Amino acid sequence: MIQTKDKQEDEKFSNLNYRSRESTCQIDSNQVCIQNSDVEGDLKVIKIEAYQLSKFKVFISIAITLLSCLTFGILLKNSIKVRLRCIFNKSSVNKATHFLITNQDGYQQIVNRIKTKDKNKILFINRHMKYQYFDDFNKKSFYPVYYHQLEKQSLRDIKSIHAEGLNDHKVEAHLEKYGNCEIHIPLPSLIEYLFDNLTSVFFIFQYISMILWTLEGYLQFAILMISVSVFITLINYYLLKASLNKLKKFAKIDLNVQVIRNGVQQTIDCIDLLPGDLFLFQNNMLMPCDSLLLSGDALVNESSLTGESIPIPKISILQNQQQDDLFNMETMKNHILYEGTKVIQIKGNQVYGIVLRTGYTSFRGQIFRSMLYPKHISFKFYTNATYFLLLMIVMGVTTYFVELYFIIKIELPTLLIVYRFFDTVTWMIPAPLPIFFSICQTISLIRLGIKKVLATDPAKIVVAGDVSIMCFDKTGTLTKDQMELYGYCDYTCKKIKESLIVESKQEELLHKFFGSCHGVYLVNGVNLGDELDIRMLEFSQFEILPDESTEFKFRVQRKIDNCILNICKVWEFESSLQRMTVIMHDEQAQKFYGIVKGSPEKMFEMCNKDSVDEKNYNKILNELTNKGLRVIAVGYKEIQSKDALREEVEKDIQFAGLFVLKNKLKVDTADVIQQLQNGNILCKIISGDNLLTTVQCAKEARILSNESSNVLIFNSMSDCYVQNSQEKIDPLNILSSQECKKYQIGLTGKFLEEIQTHLQNGKSIIEQQILKNLLIQTSVFSRCKPKQKAEIIYMLQSVLNEKIGMIGDGANDCSAIKQSDMGISFTKTDASYSSPFSYSETSLDCVIKILAEGRCTLSNMIECYKFNLALNWVKFMSASILILELSFLSDIQVIFTNYFEYIPLLAFISLSKPIQILAPYRTISNMMAQLDQLLSTYANF
């Protein structure tokens, strides 16, 4: 099986990450089970071990610390292993005072057991998430603490059970259990930060160097060195504080809300909301928590979570047809309003909901947790830099031993000979380098901010410098947001008409369907919704009526003949289903219709085959998609009542016609792609749209060559051909030979699924080669479901072992953006939390800005590294030569060579800006490969 199908990987691709519980269980005597939950987001705890603080060991450790002049204390602080050995004993969970937590990213931490009034309660907090131990018969495990009572209740019962809201007793209990409704961003105090840093390994190294320098008589230098390090630490503190303050501002929601407690309505600050509280929604409010809609309808803007700023309708649970189903956070998203989303409009007398999750347990809270504790990025630059440094130290030590013979010969005092050895190591280790690295990254983020690119993770900017493949979503990313009308055709699929002409009863009906099957909403007199839907509604000549009643979702009217259509039910468009469905009531005809609109492929599958002329349908579809047009098919069914279930409505539907739009490329798309290709970046499209439409778009964008004889179309394993000649080919044959290098491939999600199943093991060399060839040669991935988009990114990362960038504008791109190494989204709001980079303009030039800045940061860091090492080496060699002549550098000379000589140089390197265009080569992040360059640098000295 190809790895991406693994259960473990599955969670990576889950956008909202709602997964069933999983448990990790006992192996060691003190290891305690953990039942994971979706509420932990990306930061799961994978192992918990119980420990008890030993008073005796603590006493001994304090004594040793004092005797060793704090050295042992510093060791205890910096090594978890030493701490566990020296002050803790393994214990059972009941007697534990502390827990050793191993997080999914491998990071370990010792956390305190929280003291509670009830001595039997066992709790701890890890990375802002509270965990509680349950000692029940068959579930002796830790569980993340969150409000999950509703998940045991049916939709029918929820409203009645919670009709009175929380009572005083529950308010107290919930406050103690779940805490306030806020994402509290902790700011370390200056004292805490200094204590933490001044006792870190970096400073210990500085202290040792300082002692050595002082002993060698370089007192002024030693004092200056430590002062500079403290000064830089202070600067870092203020930079950290500034970024945490920014995050805090993002996290804070200031709002008063009306809650119902003890059956009485009252006003409270939203920070005091508790899970289980009933509260009233207001127009334009920013949701302070995740909540379930119990009554009324709401239109929300989820762009802060997804980057897509179209109104999303949310309906109350009463409108769900499966009233006996238990509430499910993952499958009932259409009833849930997520924290941080904006309520655009509410509809109904009293629109209220129940608080589900607050603070760090909310979906937005999970994103903030991952921002506060970003995943460690394994980046070959850092590993290679460490190896390279070790090599330098070995060279230094070797030089020392070679020199030793001469030093002994000139009878240098023994103490000086010993100092020289330690000097060798301290000269070589570029201790302030991490600080220079973080300065390079921060300066790049500031420069990106000026260019309107908001970046949330400084580590990602370095990775951006190493990106070699850039993936693009199509609609709204490569193409403009605006679409232009091309025309429509009726069920006969014979000809395209550019304006409304009613030639038959069927056509009259089709126009009504265009006016009613959409997700457009009238907000303050403006039509908001998907561009495609807005164009279709405008074309149909229907207009949405301002209507406050909750009887219908919305009503539309055609002024010329006063035709009124009532839309009773809407199943919104879902990318993974490729369709949307509505139930419409025609007032004039007094008839109910179920109308389905979606991708032509999906609709063909669903439509009654007697209602569609397959030959004409395929012919016109081919014609239109080959021109790069966006085609939507519409089908319908006459039904008896507005209460029909979706399955009934979508069964046996009649094909009604096609609606066609032009979706042109953004003005700079082709230019940007050209620049990226010149910059040695491989460009690929991952789209949900039709294959031929996407292939045409790729040609216009110059991702694919215009030469159709070079393009292979892979619809499915049994339907593969060369685009211009339509000559059938066997995909496995082509992909397993060198011949495939001649072609560029466009494939569908269906083909990808089939070939994944075919290459089940993916282990033999030939299978691996097929997959590798496929991924390299494919420039267009089309008809991909959101999860599949993320899967493709994962395959590119793991099979090709490259760093991948992804840019997209919609909710269907979120998981792919999250999976990529450099995710970019467009957002008109402050930021989209799902991507590390968000651009407030619509142009694609942000990709070049970010890549250029990434490459610049990476080269600045490499330059800092090289110069630091080179200068250290030069200093070391000059001191070595001087010593042979029994001469030593003076204090001032050492200060000069260490600071005045290279600090300005390094400062200017870190300030270096990128050039406007991408160079045709990427920065070599492999330090070993730079050895040649480095040696030539030495030669210059």
578 binds ligand ATP (CB under 6 A): yes
Q: Where are the alpha helices (DSSP H) in 562-645?
A: 600-606, 614-626
Query: Measured from the CB of residue 597, what is the shortest distance to ligand ATP in angstroms?
Result: 4
Of 126 and 581, CB closest to ligand ATP: 581
SS3 labels along 763-795: CCHHHHHHHHHHHHHEEEEECCCHHHHHHHHHH
- Element (DSSP H or E) covering residue 565: strand 563-574
Out of 102, 243, 265, 575, the residue judged to bind ligand ATP by CB under 6 A: 575
What mask of x and - would describe binding to ligand ATP in positions 617 to 656, judged by CB under 6 A?
A: ---------------x------------------------
Binding piece for ligand ATP, criterion CB under 6 A, among 79-87, 591-599, 743-751, 890-898: 591-599
Closer Cβ to ligand ATP, 127 or 314, answer by number: 314
Our CB check for ligand ATP shows the closer of 526 and 886 to be 526
In the complex, the smallest distance separating the C-beta of residue 649 from ligand ATP, rounded to whole angstroms, is: 15
Site for ligand ATP in 672-701 (CB under 6 A): 687-690
Q: What is the DSSP letter of 479?
A: B
Among 365, 598, 635, 657, binds ligand ATP (CB under 6 A): 598
Which lies closer to ligand ATP via its Cβ, residue 337 or residue 537? 537
Nearest distance, CB of residue 630 and ligand ATP, angstroms: 7
The burial of 671, by beta-carbon neighbours within 10 Å (0-12 exposed, 13-18 middle, 19 or more buried), is given as middle
Instruction: Give the DSSP per-residue string, 864-917.
Output: HHHHHHHHHHHHHHHHHHHHHTT----HHHHHIIIIITTHHHHHHHHHPPPPSS
* Residue 481 C-beta: closest distance to ligand ATP, Å: 11
Select 33 or 692, whichever has its Cβ closest to ligand ATP: 692
Instruction: Provide the β-strand partners of residue 470.
Output: 683, 805
CA of residue 628 relative to chain centroid, distance = 30
Residue 41, both tokens: 């987001």
Binds ligand ATP by CB under 6 A, chosen from 441, 456, 581, 599: 599
Dist. CA 780–CA 773, nearest whole Å: 14
Q: In terms of CB distance, is 465 or 810 closer to ligand ATP?
A: 810
SS3 content of the chain, % helix, strand, coil (to 5): 45, 25, 30
> Which of the ranges 138-146, 485-493, 578-586, 639-647 carries the binding residues for ligand ATP, by CB under 6 A?
578-586
Smallest distance from the beta carbon of 40 to ligand ATP, in angstroms? 29
Dihedral (C-alpha) 772, 773, 775, 778: value to the nearest 10 degrees?
180
Query: Minimal distance in Å, beta carbon 782 to ligand ATP?
Result: 8
Of 247 and 577, nearer to ligand ATP (C-beta) is 577
Q: Nearest to ligand ATP by Cβ — which residue?
A: 688
Q: Within its chain, how far is the Cα of 424 from the centroid?
A: 44
Shortest Å distance, C-beta 509 to ligand ATP: 18
E-only strand ranges, 466-562: 467-472, 484-490, 521-523, 526-528, 542-544, 554-558
- Nearest by Cα to 307 from 687, 837, 663: 837
Stretch binding ligand ATP (CB under 6 A), from 203-211, 494-502, 593-601, 793-801 = 593-601
Query: Residue 711 phi/psi, 5° resolution?
Result: -105, 125
Q: Residue 217: which residues within 8 A CB-CB, separation 6 or more?
A: 891
Written as six digits, the tokens of 242 are 């500034």
Q: Closest CB to ligand ATP among 688 and 746?
A: 688
Query: By C-beta, is 41 or 529 nearer to ligand ATP?
Result: 529
With respect to ligand ATP, which residue has the nearer C-beta, 438 or 578? 578
Among 573, 659, 714, 876, binds ligand ATP (CB under 6 A): 573
For ligand ATP, which is the closer residue by CB, 420 or 789? 789
Provide the mask over 311-330, with x wherever binding to ligand ATP is found by CB under 6 A and - wherever it is not: --------------------
As measured in angstroms, the least distance from the Cβ of 516 to ligand ATP is 12
User: Contact letters (x/-) for ligand ATP, 779-818, by CB under 6 A?
Assistant: -------------------------------x-x------
In whole angstroms, what is the distance from residue 395 CA to residue 403 CA?
Answer: 12
CA-based nearest residue to 319, from 636, 521, 572? 572
How many binding residues for ligand ATP (CB under 6 A)?
Answer: 22
By the 8 A CB rule, do 455 and 461 touch?
yes
Q: Among residues 129, 92, 94, 135, which one has the least CA distance to residue 109?
A: 129
Minimum gap (Å) between residue 688 Cβ and ligand ATP: 2
Residue 458 tokens, joined? 């400084």
Considering only residues 498 through 537, tell me which ones interact with ligand ATP, judged by CB under 6 A: 530, 532-533
Where does this chain touch ligand ATP (CB under 6 A) — which range of 21-29, 279-287, 572-580, 734-742? 572-580
Output 199 or 475, the one with its CB closest to ligand ATP: 475
Contact 384/926 with Cβ under 8 angstroms?
Answer: yes
Q: How far is the CB of 689 from ligand ATP (least distance, A)?
A: 3
| Among the residue ranges 487-495, 501-509, 596-604, 739-747, the one whose residues contact ligand ATP (CB under 6 A) | 596-604
Residues numbered 174 to 203 that lie near ligand ATP (CB under 6 A) are none
* Pick 473 or 650: Cβ nearer ligand ATP: 473
H/E stretch holding 372:
helix 363-372
Residue closer to ligand ATP by CB (options 304, 687) is 687
Least distance in angstroms from the C-beta of 390 to ligand ATP: 46
With a CB cutoff of 8 Å and minimum separation 6, the contacts of 798 are 3, 4
Of 76, 537, 580, 683, which one interacts with ligand ATP (CB under 6 A)? 580
Site for ligand ATP, residues 449 to 478, rule: CB under 6 A = 473-476
Place of tokens 């939507």: 632
What one-character-per-residue DSSP string does 230-298 give? HHHHHHHHHHHHHHHHHHHHHH----EEEEEETTEEEEEEGGG--TT-EEE--TTPBPSSEEEEEEEEE
Pick from 535, 579, 803, 855 the residue near ligand ATP by CB under 6 A: 579
Which C-beta is closer to ligand ATP: that of 507 or that of 533? 533
Nearer to ligand ATP, 767 or 809 (CB): 809
Structure tokens at 375: 């995943």
The CA-atom distances, in angstroms, between 861 and each of 100, 375, 472, 640 are 35, 21, 28, 69
User: Are 449 and 461 within 8 A, CB to CB?
Assistant: no
**Which residues in the 109-148 window bind ligand ATP by CB under 6 A?**
none
Binding-site member from 98, 597, 803, 866 for ligand ATP (CB under 6 A)? 597
Cβ proximity to ligand ATP: between 571 and 873 the closer is 571
Strand order in the sheet with 542-544: 484-490, 654-662, 630-639, 591-598, 579-586, 563-574, 554-558, 542-544
On whether the CB atoms of residues 198 and 226 are closer than 8 A, the answer is no
In the complex, the residues that contact ligand ATP under the rule CB under 6 A are 473-476, 530, 532-533, 573, 575, 578-580, 597-599, 632, 687-690, 810, 812
